[in-house]
Amino acid sequence: MAMVDCFQNMSEQLRMVTCGWCETKVFVSAELAPLATVPCNKCGHSIMMPMQLRQFELRSIIGSGGMGNVYRGWDTMLERLVAVKLMKKELSKDLKALENFYREARACGRLNHTNIIHIYTFDEWEGQQYLVMELADRGSLDARIEKLRMLPELDVLDIGIKIASALDLALKYDLLHRDIKPGNILFNADHEPKLVDFGLALATTARQEAGDVTWGTPYYVAPEKIKREPETFLSDMYSLGATLYHAMTGHTPFEAPTIEELIVAQVQTPLTPPNLVVPSITQATSDALVQALAKSPADRFLSYDEFIMALTAARSQLLIQQSQSQTPQPKSKSLTSWWKRQ
């Protein structure tokens, strides 16, 4: 009986959790606070004490940002994996931060596209706002660039076509994303790219404030935003072009030692075509990115449809070239062989 009581006491003091890295099951102290972490005794990766948030069990952290943390969760009602974005409690009284959080929920909730992250629910629990969405936990385009430096041209074209299509749908709902960058393109278990973070999204008809130029990421920001001119979908197109340029060449379109010099380069310095940075990039792909990255919005593609057509045509040409280079060439008959046949 004493042995049974001992095991019961141990079970009350310990909780078994699974390491999200090596999937080893580990016992941790039940007194550990929810969301607190301890190192895995096998791989050393952080193991998080699960937290129950209504029907969602938060199991491990995926990433963090200025607004809050994103966790891998389990929906106990529908029995599916989800991502849960918890807004930082200290931001709950920040009206601007709250508005950005609401904007992201509303914007994504209206858009139904394979390559836009799906929103399942938006709610509040004990004074803390949270967003439950589709799980895309196979890393970001930014992480892939950091790891590989340059991605294959075909992969980048595929990503570009899909994200341009996603932005086209957003435009049909009069939405500009306004922060297109490699870190806002995530991948799911099927390696499908997903556009995320509509926290800066704005209706195309909304009045834009001059201070908005500081929003977004300088390496991918369109020249007209820097010059405090009105944004249109062509500003998002430029940012997507800059993102694809970075993924394909391993370099952002413009690089400088300081932010001030970078901003000047975005407006004034001529773009180096990507195939001059990486000679293996095909001319059609290079031309499409150069047009998307034109200094003047009027010189870019007139629509996302045109941009997608250019990327698709470049993709087709690339596939033909790759197919031809892999096709075994017939061996030429030597003079000796000809002489022997006489």
Distances (CA, A) of 223 to 53, 175, 234, 236, 308: 43, 20, 11, 11, 22
Give the contacts of 88 (CB within 8 A, at least 6 positions apart). 67, 68, 69
Three-class DSSP category at 296? coil
For residue 197, give the DSSP letter.
Answer: -
Q: Token pair of 121, please?
A: 């629910």
Contacts of 270 by beta carbon, 8 Å cutoff, 6+ apart: none
Residue with tokens 């931060």: 97
Known catalytic membership, residue 155: no
Characterize 238-261 residue by residue with b for buried, 16 or more Cβ atoms within 10 angstroms of its Cβ, and e for exposed.
bbbbbbbbbbbbebbbbebeeeee
Residue in 75, 158, 174, 179 annotated catalytic? 179
Q: What are the CA-CA distances from residue 317 to residues 68, 172, 200, 243, 292 (Å)?
A: 43, 30, 36, 22, 19
Question: Phi and psi (nearest 5°) for 121?
Answer: -160, 160
By the 10 Å C-beta count (0-12 exposed, 13-18 middle, 19+ buried), 339 is classed as exposed
Q: Are 82 and 73 in contact (CB under 8 A)?
A: yes
Give start and end residues of each alpha helix (H) in 222-303: 223-226, 233-249, 259-268, 274-277, 283-292
Catalytic residues: 179
